[in-house]
Amino acid sequence: MLLSKLVGERTKNGPADATAASHSLLIRAGFIKLVSNGIWSLSMPAKRIAQKIEGIIREEMNAIDGQEVSFPVVMPKDIWAESGRYFSIGEEMVRFKDRGGRDMVLGMTHEEAAVQFSRDAVNSYQQLPFMIYQFQTKFRDEARCRGGLIRVREFTMKDAYSFHNDMDDLKSYYEKAYKAYENIFRRIGMKKVVAVKSDSGMMGGSISHEFMLLTDIGEDTIVLCPECGYKANMEVATTVRKPLRDEVSEKIEEIFTGDSHDIDSVAQLLKKDKNKTVKAVCYFLKGTEKVVVCFVRGDLEVNESKLTKILMSQIVPADITGSDVLHAGNIGCYGLKKDNLAGVYYDESLRSTNNMVAGANKDGYHITGLDFDRDMPGIEFVDIAKVCEGDVCPVCGKPLALENGIEVGNIFQLGTKYTKAMNMTVLGKDGTAFYPIMGCYGIGIGRALASVAEESHDEKGLIWPMSICPWHVYLCGLRLDDEQVKETSDKLYSELTKAGVEVLFDDRNASAGVKFSDCDLIGIPIRIVVSPRGLAQGTVEVQTRDKKICENVAINDVTSFVNKIIAEAMNQLK
């Protein structure tokens, strides 16, 4: 490829609002072009990287007996109504009417399509297990796109669906998929990836794992135990908290706290630690005005994912202004009238605590001296609090660490949710029909590309791993008006290309500075510089992006030298 014809503007500065390095660098290198919020075009180098990532994923999916298929982007309402998701998914799903007035959706994922595709064709347990997968465009109308290709609305996803006779078979296949995922991330050159147990959310299964790239710009929080290796998404992470119980229990007293309505000011006013206070948080069950009240220790936060799971309902923060029962800023668990509430939940962190400060359910007043054992007998405690840095590991008891991460892949044990809802049955060995058990396995291609960029760059630009680089070699002719430089460059371009080396030839009449900085920005692993000075010695300069190799190589040896660098780099990514 000739750089002079490559479409994609290279610029000095990225967008002012870019918070992710990958966002800024992919734009600066001319790899991506914004079309609309969360919708991008990819230029040739980005497309080539995406194709190489897809190629690696394809090999790994085929290695675990995947059948590559294709489901449509536009689907009819009916199959999404069968699964129930037409109704349960919110505004993220695009719905429209076709010219015939029929309700259609844009696919956010393809469980429904996979079952619709398989249910007539597969009738016998003998046809199981099988796995079908595709690379297909998804559209999710995200409210909050960010980070360039990190969180977008339209993206290409590899989504795979496996079907099994029983749970054991799913589990053993799930293990294989897990390993395939590890292979994929290793092979595309992503390093700090960890698999964490996760909440399966709208997928609706039981066991699932998210593969997270640990990076400061990640918007997911992962709870890690550096000691025993425990890993979990914040949404499902647990800890063990010892009850903060003083030896002597004071008695309950009502105290005027005036305008002190939040934990900080109440704790300060009463000279108490925040962990000796009780925090009240109110939610509406989504779409209703039914209020749920949650109580957690004052130094903790409610984990809404855990709460949602317990409630089996979506929630939204409640505005309780005007309520007779709930006095904003003074809500307390002691003496609370529960008649009109949809539920009251007490977090485990409050179990057996005493001498606690809580709202008095009366404007301007709190109580002190609350003893949960003495004053709140018989209540049940549930785990609805977020884990904090330093909390105790539920496995080994050592302190937990929190890290940020980007979800780069996920795998789910779906169970029979979709086969049951969509009535896909097969005949078992004994002649009775059963619902196949499903697993599903996703990787977003664009996000994977951006995540590698996020992990692998420096102040000069992108640094692509050899396995997914847009081209292996950046061929840089300095002073192309010099006939010998031109001739040698042309010769190397043709020779390398013939040898299967992918070359981006900077054929512009530009300065060395411009060429070198573009080379670094685009992030091609190997740079070859053809210059009059080198040619005087019969050599060209071969340098790797990471500067580990920088040698003057005789012109006739260049192809074998370069091929060796490529082979070694690929070997390390095996």
Site residues, a second copy (CB under 8 A): 1, 4-9, 30, 33, 35-37, 39-44, 46-48, 50-51, 65, 67-76, 79, 91-92, 94-96, 98-100, 102, 104, 106, 113, 116-118, 120-122, 126-127, 130, 132, 134, 137, 139, 141, 143, 153-154
Give dist(CA 207, CA 412) in Å, integer.
Answer: 6
Nearer residue to a second copy within complex by CB, 98 or 254: 98
Rg of the Cα trace of the chain? 29
CA 493 – CA 499 distance, rounded (Å): 10
- The kind and range of the H/E element at 450 are helix 445-455
Q: Which two tokens stand for residue 384?
A: 């609805």
In angstroms, what is the minimal distance from the CB of 163 to a second copy?
Answer: 9
Nearer to a second copy, 70 or 572 (CB): 70
Structure tokens given for 24? 């800024």
DSSP string, 301-331: -B-HHHHHHHHTS-EEE---TT-SS--TT--
Smallest gap from Cβ 77 to a second copy, in A, equals 9
Residue 207 and residue 413 in contact, taking contact as beta carbons nearer than 8 Å: yes
**Nearest to a second copy of 95, 309 (CB atom):** 95
- Residue 103, classified by CB atoms within 10 Å of its CB into exposed (0-12), middle (13-18) or buried (19+), is middle
Please tell me the distance from the alpha carbon of residue 545 to that of residue 161, in angstroms, as a whole number. Answer: 39
- The CB-of-40 to a second copy minimum distance in angstroms stands at 7
Contacts for 393 with CB less than 8 Å, ≥ 6 apart: 225, 227, 228, 230, 239, 399, 400
Complex with a second copy: residue 67 or 484, whichever CB lies closer: 67
Name the phi and psi angles at 427, rounded to 5: -85, 130
- For a second copy, the closer of residues 74 and 550 by Cβ is 74
DSSP character at residue 151: B
Question: Does residue 304 sit in helix, strand or coil?
Answer: helix
532/546 Cα distance (integer angstroms): 25
Closest distance to a second copy from the beta carbon of 30 (Å)? 6
Shortest Å, Cβ 304 to a second copy = 21
- Residue with Cβ nearer a second copy (143 or 248): 143
- Degrees, nearest 5: CA angle 481-482-487: 100
Q: Distances from the Cα of 446 to the Cαs of 51, 122, 149, in angstroms?
A: 10, 33, 6
Q: Which is nearer to a second copy, 130 or 178 (CB)?
A: 130
Say if strands 130-139 and 154-164 run parallel, antiparallel, or are unpaired.
Answer: antiparallel
CB of 91 to a second copy, least distance (A): 4
Closest to a second copy by CB, 68 or 253: 68
Q: How far is the CB of 97 from a second copy (least distance, A)?
A: 9
| Distance in Å, CB of 6 to a second copy, minimum | 7
What is the CA 397 to chain-centroid distance, rounded? 28
- Beta carbon of residue 286, minimum distance to a second copy (angstroms, whole number): 16
* CB 135, min distance to a second copy, A: 10
Nearest to 490 by CA among 538, 457, 530: 530
Residue pair 285/313 in contact (Cβ under 8 Å)? The answer is yes
**Is the Cβ of residue 154 or residue 391 nearer to a second copy in the bound state?**
154
Quick one: which of 296, 303, 376, 362 has its CA closest to 329? 362
Tokens 């490829």 locate to 1
Cα 376 from Cα 387, distance rounded (Å): 24
- Taking each helix axis from N to C end, the angle separating 21-28 and 445-455, rounded to the nearest 10 degrees, works out to 100
**Quick one: 79 or 222, whose CB is closer to a second copy?**
79
- Nearest to a second copy of 38, 405 (CB atom): 38
Nearer to a second copy, 65 or 175 (CB): 65
The DSSP element (H or E) to which 374 belongs, if any, is helix 372-375
d(CA 216, CA 214): 7
- Give the C-alpha separation, 491 to 528, whole Å: 13
Residues 6+ apart with CB under 8 A from 406: 150, 212, 213, 215, 217, 218, 219, 220, 447, 451, 454
Q: How far is the CB of 2 from a second copy (least distance, A)?
A: 8
Nearer to a second copy among residue 29 and residue 478 (C-beta)? 29
- The distance of closest approach from Cβ of residue 145 to a second copy in the complex, given in angstroms and rounded to an integer, is 11
To a second copy, the closest distance from the beta carbon of 177 in angstroms equals: 16
